[in-house]
Amino acid sequence: MIKVGKFFIISKRFSIGLLCFCCLAAVFTGCSFLQQTAKIEEPPVPKPILRVGAIPAESVEKTRDQLQSLMEYLERETGFQVELIVTTDYRSVIDKMRQKEVDIAMLGPFSYILANEQANALAFASTEKNGIGKKYYSVFIVHPESGIADIKQLGGRRLAFTDRNSTSGYLIPQRILRNNGIDPDTDLESAEFLEHHDAAILAVKKQTVDAAAVSSTILQHMREKGILGDKDYRIIYTSEAIPSSGTVWAYREDFPQEAVGKIKNAFFNANHTEGALGVFGAEIGSFFPVEDRELDVIRNAYQMLEMGKQ
């Protein structure tokens, strides 16, 4: 009986020890599992953000559609999380760049000059469309039934501009009008600012204005899409060639140079990467390098007009 009792006592102690060991093993196993779970559930390191601003040469929606494939390509190539900001007017993009709410931007040549002056923007790329090349024009268009055949006949008429910061939709047309003896501030029946080139073109088509000053590139886009025909408009004046095909891409000069290098490489490699440009490539064109000095013709026109107003 004593032996049995002793055996019982020994077994009881052994059982208690075994139970303690199992508990400790469970605790350590649980901790290991929690550590592994914690590692699995750790949030990924957020990507740096690249904020891309764009002027609405046509409608805001149209500009977004044009740039969608390019933005997705830039995310893949640069490692940035890309945020596209399409504003309702040219001025807003310049202000956002000045306030450091935009890192790179698609601008017009004139809005670039203003962004360079006011927001430390520096040009690095422009676009070239097949069949059009690296230049475009400001054209004055009228409805064929308007009876207007010459730019000198625009005095006392209703004229549509696009945006006050547009090259082909306001800056160059101002100089052309003044060179032809028409002061756009006093000699027109009305001057309307319709913000987008397509809106100004359609105003001529619908005869809600007598004439409009617009980009030759946008005019051609609308012809190619079948929106316009010969019966809808007539060109009465074409400006001298304007550099950069209507779009200038620029970055803030204080943006990190390493990031700028990645962005430049991505832009110029996009020309040879299938699907990178999407609708933008079909409608706007491919990229080529451009430097600030190449926009001096626009800068000089702006300075001459400003001096003439003083």
Taking each continuous run of H as one helix and of E as one strand, the counts in the chain are: 10, 13
Q: Which two tokens stand for residue 210?
A: 């007598």
Tokens matching residue 228: 């316009």
3-state secondary structure of 86: strand
Q: Each residue of 207-239: pLDDT tens digit?
A: 999 999 999 989 998 998 899 999 999 999 999
Q: What's the average model confidence in pLDDT over 269-276?
A: 91
State the span(s) of the chain assigned CATH 3.40.190.10.
49-129+245-294, 138-240
Q: In what order do the strands lie in the sheet with 286-289?
A: 81-86, 49-54, 104-107, 248-252, 121-128, 286-289
26/23 Cα distance (integer angstroms): 5
Nearest partner of 225 among 249, 204, 201, judged by Cα: 201
pTM equals 0.73
CA–CA separation, 213 vs 239, rounded Å? 10
Q: Supply the angle between the helices 257-270 and 60-78 in degrees, to the nearest 10.
A: 110
Q: What is the dihedral of CA 109, 111, 114, 115, to 10 degrees?
A: -100
Q: Which of 35, 51, 43 is nearest to 97 (CA)?
A: 51
Percentage above 70 pLDDT, the chain: 83
pLDDT digits (tens, 9 = 90+) for 132-185: 667 889 999 999 999 999 999 999 999 999 988 889 999 999 999 999 999 999
pLDDT of residue 18: 46
Give the containing element (helix H, strand E) for 264.
helix 257-270
Find how far residue 179's CA is from the centre of its chain.
33
CATH topology classification for 49-129+245-294: D-Maltodextrin-Binding Protein; domain 2 (3.40.190)
Does the pLDDT of residue 82 top 80, yes or no? yes
Please give the CATH topology (third level) of the domain spanning 138-240.
Answer: D-Maltodextrin-Binding Protein; domain 2 (3.40.190)
Tell me how far apart the alpha carbons of residues 218 and 66 are, in angstroms, rounded to a whole number. 13
H/E run at residue 87: none
Lowest-confidence region among 77-86, 102-111, 279-288: 279-288
